[in-house]
C-alpha cells in the first residue's frame, strides 16, 4: 500500500524558469505610451506605442518600428493613463530595452514587433502633460 502525501507537485522546469525571470506579475493593459529612444539628442520624435502588459519593474510594447530599438538602449518612457474629461495624467520613468522581437508573420496587420523594457526608476505620476513635446494622450 502506498503512503499518501500532502506535498505539492513539483513545478515543471519551464514554469520555474519563467517565474524566476519575473519578480512581479504582469497585467494586460490597453494603454498608449511614448518611447523616446534618444531623449538627449532628440534626433527623432518619441514613438507612440501600445502597452501590451505592465508589471512593477517592466513593460512590453507593440511597435511599428522595432528596428529603432536595441537591447541595452536607454530611453525615456511616458505611459498615458485613462482620464476623465478635463483631467489627464501620465506615468513617467527611465527604462532600458531588454528584448526586441520582430514579428515576421505577413498576416500580422500592421507589421512590426514587440519591445520589452525594464524600468530603471520608479514610475512617477504627472497630471496634465499638455505641452510636452511628442506626447498627445488623446
- Evaluate whether the domain defined by 22-127 bears CATH number 2.40.10.220: yes
Q: What angle do CA 70, 19, 31 make, to 5 degrees?
A: 55
Which pTM does this prediction carry? 0.70
Instruction: Tell me how far apart the alpha carbons of residues 64 and 49 are, in angstroms, rounded to a whole number.
Output: 8
The torsion of the CA quartet 136, 132, 96, 58, rounded to 10 degrees, works out to -50
Q: For position 7, what pLDDT does the model report?
A: 43
Q: For position 18, what pLDDT does the model report?
A: 46
Q: For position 19, what pLDDT does the model report?
A: 44
- The residue ranges of DSSP E strands in 47-111, in sequence order, are 47-54, 58-63, 74-81, 89-103
Residues of the chain predicted below pLDDT 50: 1-20
Amino acid at each position: 500500500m502506498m503512503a499518501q502525501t500532502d506535498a505539492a507537485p513539483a513545478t515543471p522546469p519551464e514554469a520555474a524558469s519563467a517565474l524566476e525571470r519575473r519578480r512581479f506579475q504582469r497585467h494586460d493593459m490597453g494603454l498608449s505610451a511614448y518611447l523616446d529612444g534618444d531623449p538627449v539628442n532628440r534626433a527623432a520624435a518619441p514613438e507612440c506605442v501600445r502597452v501590451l502588459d505592465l508589471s512593477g519593474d517592466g513593460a512590453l510594447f507593440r511597435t511599428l518600428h522595432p528596428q529603432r530599438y536595441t537591447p541595452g538602449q536607454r530611453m525615456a518612457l511616458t505611459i498615458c493613463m485613462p482620464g476623465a474629461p478635463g483631467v489627464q495624467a501620465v506615468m513617467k520613468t527611465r527604462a532600458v530595452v531588454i528584448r526586441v522581437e520582430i514579428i515576421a508573420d505577413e498576416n500580422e496587420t500592421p507589421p512590426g514587433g514587440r519591445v520589452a523594457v525594464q524600468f530603471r526608476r520608479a514610475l512617477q505620476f504627472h497630471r496634465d502633460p499638455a505641452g510636452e513635446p511628442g506626447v498627445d494622450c488623446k
